[in-house]
Amino acid sequence: AGHIDVIYYLGLSYNAQGNFDEAARYLREGLAREPENSVLRYELGIALYGQNKFDEALKEFLPIFEAEPRMDNLGYYIGLCYSQKKDYETAVGYFRKNVSTDAKTRQLNQKSLGLALQALGREAEARQELDEAIKIAPAGPIVGSTQQLLTAVREQTGGKRLRIEVTFNAQFDSNPEAQHRERKSYGNLLNVKADYTVFKSGPWESTATYSLLQTLNYENHRGDLNDNFIGANLYYKTIIAGMPSIAGLQLNNDILFLDKELYLQRPTGTLTLTVQENLSNTTTALFRPQYKDFLQGTTTHDEHRNAMNEMVGFIHYIRFADGKYQINFGYNWDHEDARGHNWRYNGHKAIAGLQVGLPWQIQWTTNFEFHARFYPGQNSNPVFLQHQHRKDQEATVLTTLTKDLAQNLTLTLQGLRDRNYSTIPDFNYSRYVTALGLTWRY
């Protein structure tokens, strides 16, 4: 018996350390001696789950559940196994039957139940369970990510067809015009966005969107920007190869004013496909044709900027520690087929991001983009270098700290760094923006 106790504690310790291979090796040795030992079998199930061997883990868990359905945390682990297998209906049943004496595990179980219900499209039940998860331990480490999930579910299905978001920033911009010669300015930003659910039935959902973005630069009004965006969206939820998926079509148009003068109109179509491989991994592929209609005339044919831009790419998200941490990475290729050969290019964009949950329920997010653009034509404009091939390399970093002050009010601190290197000196520029703002949601 003493030897079995040693094996049990070794398996328990290795599981706690995340060394599931070693845990499984010792626990199998113990079960070879005592095949009916349910405690060893339970720990072996946890080790197998940690190795992503969900079917094998269930073979250990399910017989125990038949004999001891109220064993601590057993329903939780069985539910997790079925969730990973995309059998959310069965997972919900076991999450509901779980018994946990530990508040942290009860909270995790409740959140996992909410996620499974959301995957089944039972949003009203999901909201209820996520609410309960927060109440179990309001200061728990997963409350921040649970609150974010709950807010997202409420926004999607809270019975409100109309959703409004208003952001107001006070900011400093070192180069509002993004020009080679910098003219800095303090200012403000106002962004108002409204979404309206036109219809929602089964796997189908359609929404309409309007957004107004206005910046005001006190010392450099040439950088003042006004953008009006209107769009229609259609989504279809389905299952592809056993994975929950959403196909989307977005059609939109935006009209941009610079210093109160018409500058650009961009009708755009976007096709997206988002696939959730498991609870931790999600991938979105997209194709986006866009027409750019520059509304200010030019004097030479080479300088006509009106263009058809086509972009194709993907972005992949990985969640860790129950959503407390998230990374993303992706790649886009785009081709700008402008009328004037000075503006035609092929582009490659690398994307990366990091999201971290900090103490006091503060969320830290950093996103990085590197866009390399190659202009194949020789630039013949005398303003540029004569017969010079243009090549731009633009690096952009956006860092954000957010803190929910209330359920519908968020405080945000942002820093943006944009640096463009170009073989044409006039397109070399540097810009940084710092902003402090509030976002209100209805």
Q: Is residue 82 scored above 70 in pLDDT?
A: yes
Q: Which two tokens stand for residue 332?
A: 């886009």
Q: What is the pLDDT of residues 246-283, one digit of tens each?
A: 899 999 999 999 988 898 999 999 999 999 888 788 99
Distance CA 441, CA 152 (A): 11
Helix (H, G, I), strand (E, B) or coil at 339: coil
Burial 185-194 (b: 16+ CB within 10 A, else e): bebebebebe
Mean pLDDT for all residues in the chain: 86
Token readout for 108 is 């995790």
Asked if 393 and 350 touch (Cβ cutoff 8 Å), the reply is no
- As a whole number of angstroms, the distance between CA 261 and CA 296 comes to 9
What pTM does this model have? Answer: 0.64
Residue 138 pLDDT > 70, yes or no?
A: no
The CA-CA-CA angle for residues 91, 93, 98, to 5°, reads 95
Confidence (pLDDT) at 385? 46
Sorting pLDDT into bands at 50, 70 and 90, what band is 290? very high
How far apart (Å, rounded) are the C-alpha atoms in residues 326 and 244? 19
- Which residue type does 180 have? H
Q: What is the pLDDT of residue 352?
A: 97
**pLDDT at residue 120, rounded to an integer:** 81
Residue-wise pLDDT tens digits, 340-367: 888 899 999 999 999 998 888 888 999 9
Question: Has residue 158 got a pLDDT over 50?
Answer: no
Count of all residues that appear for the chain in the document: 442
Q: How far apart are CA 402 and CA 438, in angstroms?
A: 10
Number of other residues whose CB lies within 10 A of the CB of residue 359: 7
